[in-house]
Structure 1
Amino acid sequence: MQLIDIAVNLTHPSLATQAEALLERARAAGVCQLVLTGTSLSESEASLELCRRLDDSGERLFSTAGVHPHDASAWNGASATALKALLGEPEVRAVGECGLDFDRDFSPRPQQEKALEEQLALAAELAMPVFLHEREASQRLLEILRDFRDRLPAAVVHCFTGERRALYAYLDLDLHIGITGWVCDERRGTHLHPLLGDIPADRLMLETDSPFLLPRSLRPKPKSGRNEPAFLTEVLREVARHRRQSEQQLAAETSACARAFFGLPVPSEREVAQS
């Protein structure tokens, strides 16, 4: 069984210091490919550097490059130029993490929207998929996306935690959906359980968003309290249960979906044998 984790914040200080050991644990758990998340220009550069340093095969680690809505206030005239250069690197497979966050509002909403629109324009120009963040902003995100959707090859709403109406609206716009350990949280994630079966197999991907969102159903729990890619198997287990699928089938479907979305290679026999 092979899995792909489409969201790993490997530049986070709690993970970066143990990156090699973390990747070995992921490999042992069957997580054969990972997409490292870029959340600012500096973090996107750092993610790209980790891909190059930790993956000499060029088959296992890839990244995104973008500016998160929390950092949208830093977006300026030079940002698009710098980001475009990063997006030209072969390891970088999507624009993002970009989007809207009207929950925390760390950046003013007009600046969030401007940064998002300019990143969507870049994605359209470069024909690259988009890795989206959304919190309490589904309606406005949909309004902005509709103006770009025909020019974008694909887009994923990463770490989807919304309600049925938002899910159906995203699917109607032909978006992909990323599911995290939020579904393993008995306090706030149970509303997702009946929705999981409504996501088409060619639109569903799995992610840890590590070191965040440690699955609450995981046993035993790590003493660190941090999530990591090896724990993607717990997300797989929970999603498969509610979709009434075998874990093997769901792993195959979500991996095929992620490879198509990010343009990832099929790992060589050497990489598979080590997983």
Structure 2
Amino acid sequence: MATPYRDDFLPESLQFRPRTPLVDIGANLTHESFQRDLSDVIARAKAANVATLIVTGTDIEHAEQAVAMAQQFPGLYATAGVHPHDASGWNDDVAHQLKALHQKAEVVAVGECGLDFNRNFSTPSEQERAFEAQLALAAESGLPLFLHERDAGQRMRDILRSWRDDISQAVIHCFTADRDTLHGYLDLDLHIGLTGWICDERRGHPLRTLVKDIPLERLMVETDCPYLLPRNLPAKLKGRRHEPALLPWIVREIALWHDVSEAELGAATTRTALRFFRIDAVS
């Protein structure tokens, strides 16, 4: 159903508002591409009934920016962590600053943190050191974890298994791996975040066959914007920047492969996300 927007960035055919409020659990709104029109981006999200946005903090600078956004805009919350790409910079000062951020009311998760053995911008040993230090911070704060993993599923599971009794909940954000990795995470009682990757018929087809294996009470949805623009959009978008207003198209695709209605999937993922991040209600 079409709905009015504050500007014409989105073609009319991409403007649709589901009846169920949605939660985007991973929006990189601190990315420089959002600097020029952040207020409009958030307004479009609200118009598309994406009522709650979790803004990802991947290092101290971006976590502080995410907190500032959450203080400015109702319905926005922040995470605070150090991405594995930046793990080489981990030190006691970073740990101290993160610990302070985790005490802020706007911060609802530790992360984005984890392991990325695909690009190895930081060495595996540096990544593991920073990851375990952030697991300790999560255990201390009691906050849930917002996790990143690429080509490191077995090592990630081994580390998480040793910490599982100490940490609360955790979500593997932007999951794209295989069946064994998925079931390994589910066996650890983890949550799974799905993105527009599933809308890509070239790369996302293997993931589509796994969607039904994810219980709705463990599933959440995200854009990971400005990345991973869905390929199921019925019209072209100016540029290639993804944004939260397009989350309903991701929900549509996931619902198709989960064999449930869009309304059921939207309601379930919203309930799960609000409970996971301990948010009382959609703002």
Normalised by the size of structure 2, how large is the TM-score? 0.92
Q: Match for 1:36: what amino acid? A: V
Please list, as runs of the form range in 1=range in 2, the aligned pairs for 1:103-114 lying within 5 A after superposition: 103-114=118-129
Write the letter of the residue equivalent to 2:111: G
2:218 equivalent in structure 1: 203
CA distance in 2, matches of 1:13, 1:219: 27
Deviations 1:94-132 (A, max 9, x none): 000000000000011101000000000110111110000
Once the 2 structures are TM-superposed, how far is the Cα of residue 152 of structure 1 from its aligned partner?
1.1
Q: Equivalent of 1:29, from 48, 59, 63?
A: 48
- The answer to whether residue 174 in structure 2 is matched with residue 155 in structure 1 is no
**Structure 2 residue 160 is matched with structure 1 residue 145:** yes
- Runs of at least 5 residues in structure 2 that lack an aligned partner in the other structure: 1-19
Q: 2:86 aligns with which of 36, 54, 71?
A: 71
Rounded Cα–Cα distance in structure 2 between residues aligned with 1:124 and 1:74: 22
What is the CA–CA distance in structure 2 between the aligned matches of 1:140 and 1:184, rounded to whole Å?
Answer: 28
User: Aligned partners of 2:22 and 2:224: how far apart in 1?
Assistant: 14
Aligned counterpart for 2:76 among listed residues 61, 79, 86: 61
1:17 to partner: Cα distance: 2.1
**Selected match of 1:12 from 25, 31, 37:** 31
Looking at structure 1, the residues matched to 248 and 236 of structure 2 have their Cα atoms a distance apart, in angstroms, of: 14
1:73 and 1:211 mapped to 2: Cα distance?
25
Q: 2:63 aligns with which of 27, 44, 50?
A: 44
Instruction: Give the equivalent residue in structure 2 for 1:2.
Output: 21
Amino-acid identity (%): 52
Cα deviation, residue 16, structure 1:
2.6
SS of residue matched to 2:165: helix
- The two structures, once aligned, show a CA RMSD in angstroms of 0.8
Q: How many pairs does the alignment contain?
A: 264
The 1-side partners of 2:281 and 2:73 are apart by 18
1:238 and 1:35 mapped to 2: Cα distance? 21
1:163-178 equivalences under 5 Å are: 163-178=178-193
In structure 2, what is the equivalent of residue 263 of structure 1? 278
What amino acid does structure 2 have at the position aligned with 1:245?
V
Aligned equivalents of 2:143 and 2:190: distance in 1?
Answer: 14
- Structure 1 outlier segments of 4+, above 4 Å: none
Q: Deviations over 1:218-249 (max 9, x none)?
A: 12121121100011011100000011111001
Structure 1 residue 79, shift from structure 2 partner: 1.3
Cα distance, 1:54 vs. partner? Answer: 2.5
Q: Counterpart of 1:212?
A: 227
Look up the equivalent residue of 1:172 and give its one-letter code: D
Residue 186 of structure 1 corresponds to which residue in structure 2? 201
TM-score by length of 1: 0.95
Distance 2:121 2:37 in 1: 29
